[in-house]
Amino acid sequence: MDRKPMKSMLAAACVLAASAVNAADTMESAAGSQLFSHHCHACHSEDSSKNTFGPSLTGVVGRQAASLPRYVYSDALKASGVIWTEQNLRKWITDNEKFVPGTRMRHVSITDQAEQDYLIAYLKTLK
């Protein structure tokens, strides 16, 4: 039995599956970009060299909270010990004042799971 056609079909299926995943990721991050513009951009920059009213969010995923130089954080956030994992970002954008009482950031409340997914997908692209 000739296995070359089967291998070719399997390879093509893998490429299509990977393309579908990449397209879904791109769509999520595009939706997240819109959410960022609406909820975050007034205070946060996507440029790593710029802190605005709030710190830059470039590279935020995986970063220690209150760790960017050139930004003065609240004592509460500095003492929090938070690492910005997906789970902690989700808690923060659901209710930042509950997650880190004493933060200076105004109250945030994005409770829709899909919107949280989109925003986090976008934040992951900011490197």
CA-to-CA dists, residue 38 to 35, 43, 77, 115, 122, angstroms: 5, 11, 24, 12, 13
The yes-or-no verdict on residue 13 having pLDDT over 70 is no
Both ends of the chain: CA-CA distance in Å?
49
Tokens read off for 80: 């929090």
In this structure, of 6-15, 25-34, 78-87, the range with the lowest mean pLDDT score is: 6-15
**DSSP code of residue 40:** T
**DSSP code of residue 107:** P
Q: Is 4 helix (H, G, I), strand (E, B) or coil?
A: helix
The yes-or-no verdict on residue 24 having pLDDT over 60 is no
Domain boundaries, the chain: 4-125
CB 126 within 8 A of CB 59: yes
pLDDT of residue 108: 86
CB 49 within 8 A of CB 26: no
The yes-or-no verdict on residue 106 having pLDDT over 90 is no
50 band by pLDDT with thresholds 50, 70 and 90: confident
The yes-or-no verdict on residue 119 having pLDDT over 90 is yes
pLDDT digits (tens, 9 = 90+) for 52-102: 899 999 999 999 999 998 899 999 999 999 999 999 999 999 999 999 999
Q: What percent of the chain has pLDDT over 70?
A: 80
Fold of the CATH domain 4-125? Cytochrome Bc1 Complex; Chain D, domain 2 (1.10.760)
Distance CA(116)–CA(28), nearest Å, equals 10
Residue 97: CB atoms within 10 Å: 15
pLDDT of residue 102: 96
> Higher-confidence residue: 8 or 68?
68
